Chains A and B, each alone.
Chain A
């Protein structure tokens, strides 16, 4: 841990009563490539110190890149002056002292990421590029992240962890077709880099391009595509504030069936199948939170402000101040329970239909109606009689997620780990969607 507890305590002393620090020491190394050549390398070290001061029903915030006492003192003076300008209001954090008693989950950092050097990333790139036919053009990125986190409060709370993450994205293009693989893990040694060329080769299978189909059909969403659906659905529907204010499609429906009974969904920041992290931006311990059981809405994710909806205890889903995806609690580590079907069985059950490997640019048009629009990307196939028979042209889907979640008729037995810009990890299997809610334009 490179963030000194002594410096943190000193900063809290300067800031005074009601202060909370949310500190990130970020260390990111990136290798990007396109057309089978390296195009950029990036190494970033930064310290982000987010400060919030809640005092007498008033709340102000700020951020710095240092814990140096003079800089903290300068910000403290500014925040104190701002507090004096604010009218007294309702305290926005219902339980300002947090849950000190819960132990911080232990998530060990991986030496493979802590001790990395550029040569490792170059080796990965070479392994994938050289494992493909020279006519295949490779694009993508390899990224290593080390994140030192501290959340501490003047009331005594102090939590710290170091998170590691390695990820690789490989997009292969050949003859106007493309396929992609995205892998990530807290431990770089766990990533099967040598398997990527085979996976890309298999996805770039030499099939003819079929005419675009129209109307509805069964659609098999492979894990990367299902990941976008589940993450977007969770973000729009399963947060306690959206639920409480009536903006969620699930508002008022706790205990009711809201999806196919094949869906069992939890949020668990400590499950090693995801990308674990132990606490949220308020310092609340991340708790395993069942959300949907056999299709029935059984839970929501909360922060301190909305802990009343989750038994008075925040589930550990407060988002950082200034987060670009809003201020409401939203799921962070979704895991969809695996089913029993093999990929071949799902394809057989799909019969004649579409197989989608990736859903891209999926955007919410109407949160309350769960209406979204997005496109397919990379390998999209047409199946006949349970066999892949051709590449299908890319297409746009506009649909209600609620309808699709209710039309799930098959769940794969193998889950993939992925992330989203608005979610730390999502672990999902393939999903077979019955004909109806997804319409090929």
Chain B
């Protein structure tokens, strides 16, 4: 990345003297997607994006500009735009805290470079998956099996002396099956679901190589997943009742994302996401005294977990990856932050400033949001439940602008009767609010069941940014939860 470093130094050299602070990110993002459908290959896509983003602070006010034009005229223009914006704002009071002066280079580890694996190997894997899924019969209407690979090569440099090179490689894959009988349509996904109708970018992702995709067992699980989609067509509706809810670790990943992840972003707590996402119940005065859940629950953000999708060595401000406690023994204790928002709260950055490519401004983003494991197990939770439902794989959700009241729908549920799994249930939803739900938690799976789920589709900001995040979770059991259609 010598060329990227040179480019960064050239741009920093163009900054006028009234710039208090400036940083530049030069990023090349490569993305490959292969998708196979019921009637054959549906998509082979290669994306390549290269550009730079420049951020300057003048008089305590930010300006940011990004461009794909890396010629001298493009560089002059991007400096002019960023500086012009910051000056036009007429002053502010951004404080960044301790300077970042790190010089380092790092690449995420992998065993098999996914960009060197032949297309035919990827097509064979996905075609075998689709073939297995299609054995579930004629009610299977739609199958999508896909793999996606990303590589970010990026250089970060700032006026404080930092120069950091990072290369991150991410791999993921998944399967989605829709079954229909004319009256109803039901979906099953593996290893996890994706909200909305995104083509590809399905399944489970990791900061790893092609070995991660091979470990998912897509062909091995395809027939079961498709059969469940067909079975759901004739399954009974989830009853409307208040009952015991046992949620698989996959399902809890998204609940944690919405109930602890977004609300505990410091920029949100300070009101800067009001225009799109909204505010948060986790306001600064509640830190350390808000009872978020039962004492058995603790949650943290950790960007140092090897192979997890939200892991890296430095964030997009050069702050080292780290672990940050968010909830301790049921009490809300901490925020995810960047230099700016940590400064506003009188804290040090927790290293969670991340940008979606070169063209976006770094925001406070989740890394890997995790539950500390408990002492139970999924089997014990089921055996200890007289009447309830087990749910897994998220199908959709909605949460209010303060991240309190929510409703989640799952792809599949099962009755629990007298400690045993019973019938499949369809259209299972559950509704609650954050502290009530987590306050009803009475059991969490143990360390053996702790798993990181990689989600490549976390949305935030304006313009919208998509982040790749991880969630380390275990199964959990919740009492007195409203479930139903």
Contacts and interface: CB of A to CB of B under 8 A. Distances in A.
Contact of A421 (B40, B86, B464): B464
A42 B68 contact: no
Contacts of A47: 68
A325 interface: yes
Given A41-B63, A245-B142, A361-B399, A85 B86 contact: no
A41 B64 contact: yes
Interface string A210-246: 0000000000000000000000000000000000011
B398 interface: yes
Name the interface size band of chain B.
35 or more
B390 to A, nearest CB: 19
Contacts of A140: 274-275
Nearest to B144: A327
B407 A398 contact: yes
A334 to B, nearest CB: 18
Nearest to B64: A42
Interface string B307-346: 0000000000000000000000000000000000000000
A141 B463 CA distance: 10
A139 B274 contact: yes
B111 to A, nearest CB: 23
B24 to A, nearest CB: 14
Contact of B45 (A40, A61, A360): A61
Contacts of A71: 48
Nearest to B85: A41
Interface stretch (B192-200, B217-225, B467-475): B192-200
A362 B398 contact: yes
B464 A61 contact: no
Contact of B271 (A28, A34, A143, A375): A34
B462 A141 contact: yes
Nearest to B44: A60
B109 interface: no
A364 B401 CA distance: 17
A106 interface: no
A32 B40 contact: no
A168 to B, nearest CB: 10
B182 interface: yes
Contact of B397 (A119, A141, A326, A363): A363
Give the dominant DSSP class at B's interface. mixed
B67 A32 contact: no
A78 B400 contact: no
A247 B184 CA distance: 8
B358 to A, nearest CB: 9
B123 interface: yes
Nearest to B53: A44
A66 B70 CA distance: 11
A64 interface: yes
A199 interface: no
Interface string A86-119: 1101101000000000000000000000000111
Contacts of A56: none
Contacts of B178: 247
Nearest to A82: B44
A365 B185 CA distance: 12
Name the interface size band of chain A.
35 or more
Interface in B64-97: 64-69, 77-78, 81-82, 84-86, 88-90, 92
Contact of B90 (A79, A122, A324, A421): A122
Contacts of A46: 51, 66-68, 359
A66 B405 CA distance: 45
B270 interface: yes
A62 B44 CA distance: 8
Nearest to A118: B88
A61 to B, nearest CB: 5
Contact of B427 (A39, A44, A64, A366): A366
A65 B395 contact: no
A24 to B, nearest CB: 11
A257 interface: no
A419 interface: no
A59 B36 CA distance: 12
B400 A360 contact: yes
Contacts of A90: 39-40
A43 B66 contact: yes
B400 A361 contact: yes
Contacts of A421: 464
Given A65-B68, A85-B123, A89-B40, A40 B184 contact: no
Contacts of B466: 324
Contact of B398 (A65, A324, A363): A363
A65 B274 contact: no
Interface in A318-336: 321-328
A13 interface: no
A62 B45 contact: yes
Contact of A62 (B47, B84, B275): B47
A322 B47 contact: yes
Given A63-B48, A246-B141, A43 B65 contact: yes
A124 B86 CA distance: 17
B20 interface: no
B448 interface: no
A139 B271 contact: yes
B270 to A, nearest CB: 7
B419 interface: no
B178 to A, nearest CB: 7
Nearest to B183: A368
Contact of B82 (A43, A363, A375, A394): A43
Nearest to B180: A246
Contacts of A323: 199
Contacts of A389: none
A371 interface: yes
Contact of B39 (A89, A328, A361): A89
Nearest to A71: B48
Nearest to A142: B275
A89 B360 CA distance: 39
Which one of A39, A117, A246, A421 has the highest number of Cβ atoms from chain B below 10 Å of its Cβ? A39
Given A62-B46, A371-B427, 4 more contacts: A246-B180, A324-B466, A326-B197, A365-B429
28 contacts: A32-B272, A34-B271, A39-B272, A40-B361, A41-B64, A42-B64, A42-B65, A42-B66, A42-B463, A62-B46, A62-B48, A78-B46, A85-B120, A89-B41, A118-B89, A140-B275, A171-B275, A173-B274, A247-B178, A322-B200, A324-B196, A327-B199, A361-B400, A362-B398, A363-B396, A373-B398, A373-B429, A394-B405
